[in-house]
Structure 1
Amino acid sequence: MTLSIQLPLIFHLMIELPASISFLLFPQTQLPGASEETILILRNFGGLLLSTNLLVIIFLLYGGHQTLNDLGGWILLCLGSYHFWPIWRAWIRIKRMSREGGNKQKKVLGGPVVHFWVHLGCLVTLCFGGLMNL
């Protein structure tokens, strides 16, 4: 597996592993005052993030396999497409904060401004790596 595939995967893993743990173990920090059903949905999302992390680890460990090399660009594009949604969520939260004159809530994993830039970095890195490896 080429470095142009490995680096975006490592970047995705570094960003999404803490997020998956946060959603799984501390969902109430994501949405304070959330109902039990909402907590279950947040944990479900954490499990989904964790599964993408496990998949990335498998790709990194077995990267020499020809099938993974052939599909590497597509895999990166698929993972990159996910990052659009946290960017969108962060953008909406940033706009809401500016309308409300600041943020009174506890910032989880850096808050919306950090989320915006980190996920934008992931989106660009994964999609660029994906396009370079098609």
Structure 2
Amino acid sequence: MILAKLPFAIHALVETAAALSFIFNPEKQLPGCNTAAKLILRQYGGLLLSTNLICLVILSEPNFTDTTRLLAAALGTYHIWPCYRAYVRISQNIEGTGKGKPVLGGPLLHLIVHLACFGMFIWTSCVS
């Protein structure tokens, strides 16, 4: 069952970078955003960090339970939304930074990473 916990470790790594970006550089996620938008983006970064805490709890548990499967399904379905965001950014040629280097690899890398996370979590939710 160690392999079934791999998505939780990967999620914690991937979302830590994203969370820190939303918290410390919200204007790179939404160029020209006002103070209210920055607060929302920082709040979202905090939410991502809380999902990492859930992942760390799962990783520290010795047993693979039905609760682990349900949390995998929940975290997997979350990844639909970053996939959608990346797809729209690609299809409409929208860059998050407005100028310069794309944030954390840009939308194509985001799509690939979040599709992989989605697939791994859904697989984990189905493991018996």
TM-score of the superposed pair, with normalisation by structure 1: 0.86
Q: Which runs of at least 4 in structure 1 moved beyond 3 Å after TM superposition?
A: 103-106
Instruction: Look up the SS of the partner of 1:97 in the other structure.
Output: coil
- Look at both structures and tell me which one has the larger radius of gyration over its CA atoms: 1
Q: In structure 1, what is the equivalent of residue 59 of structure 2?
A: 60
Please point out which of 95, 105, 110 is paired with 1:110.
105
CA RMSD of aligned residues (A): 1.7
Contact 1:5 1:73 in 2 (8 A): no
- Residue ranges of structure 1 left out of the alignment (5+ in a row): none
> Which residue identity is paired with 1:40?
L
CA displacement 1:30-75 (0-9 Å, x = unmatched): 11211111000100100100000011112212x125xx62311111
Give aligned pairs, total. Answer: 125
Report matched runs for 1:1-134 at 5 Å.
Answer: 2-61=1-60, 63-64=61-62, 69-97=65-93, 105-106=99-100, 107-133=102-128
Name the CA distance, whole Å, in 1 between partners of 2:30 and 2:99. 10
Contact 2:79 2:115 in 1 (8 A): yes
Task: Give identity over the alignment, percent.
Answer: 38
- Residue ranges of structure 2 left out of the alignment (5+ in a row): none
Name the CA distance, whole Å, in 2 between partners of 1:30 and 1:76. 26
Shift of 1:14: 1.4
CA displacement 1:64-105 (0-9 Å, x = unmatched): 25xx6231111111100000000000000001118xxxx963
